[in-house]
Amino acid sequence: MEFIDPAIDAYSKAFSEPESDLLKRLDRETHAQILQPRMLSGHLQGRFLALISSLIQPKLILEIGTYTGYSALCLAEGLVSTGKLITLDVNEELECFTRSFFDQSPLSSQIDYRIVDAKDEIPNIQEEIDLVFIDADKRNYALYFDLVVDKVRKGGLIIVDNVLWSGKVVDESAKDKSTQALRDFNLKCLHDQRVENLLLPLRDGLLILKKKG
């Protein structure tokens, strides 16, 4: 996942908006207690998500894949005062840990954390969505996209994480199912006439999709 020289990464963080104390604690405790802490969005990506959310002032955000809640807390920063963020995850083992950090946030009342299978839950969401963040099982990215794209308002955004997959998407020797699923997904979105595309080499790759008007 590390595409940038560590010194450049450290410099970028130093000249970016700092994390809140809550996010710093969440980062530290995730690395200390939880398996695969690299799944956490982290400082730069978190500030990027918070900035994008603040720019579009969403009324409804849908997050697919909560992990320990770092990205949800960042995205929630941009919500309008009456807005909400729905975040979906299947991992019951992380629920108490994650919910404890949501409960410490001043935005806790606006975060709707559901332990469910996203494939089953997304069809139940009837409201128009302003912003979607997808960071879950890679083999289902195409399905998640198909389930949400028609629910996103015109001009709304879908942001998809890990689309460079540690650089494996451009490694011809990488033939595992997750890598191939991401290659197929990126190509699918490129040719989907409902969205405009920008793939950013930020952290592990963020695909920004804007719903056309």
**What's the CA gap between 189 and 145, in Å, rounded?**
9
Binned average pLDDT, 10 residues per bin, the chain of 213 residues: 80 96 97 90 96 98 98 98 98 97 98 98 97 96 98 98 94 93 97 97 94 93
Q: Cβ(136)–Cβ(118) under 8 Å?
A: yes
- Look at the domain 6-211 and name its fold: Rossmann fold (3.40.50)
SS3 track for 85-110: EEEEECCHHHHHHHHHHHHHCCCHHH
* Cα distances (Å, whole numbers) of residue 133 to 13, 29, 74, 176: 22, 23, 11, 24
Q: Measured at the alpha carbon of residue 79, what is the angle toward residues 75 and 80, in degrees to the nearest 5?
A: 175
Half-sphere exposure for 27 (CA within 13 Å, toward CB):
15
End-to-end CA distance of the chain: 34
CA 54 – CA 57 distance, rounded (Å): 5
Residue 1: which residues within 8 A CB-CB, separation 6 or more?
38, 166, 203, 204
**Which is nearest to 158 in space by CA: 81, 27, 58?**
58
pLDDT at position 5 is 84
DSSP state of 39: G
Measured CA angle at 100 (ends 99, 101), to 5 deg:
90
Domains of the chain: which residue ranges? 6-211
Residue 10 has a pLDDT of 92
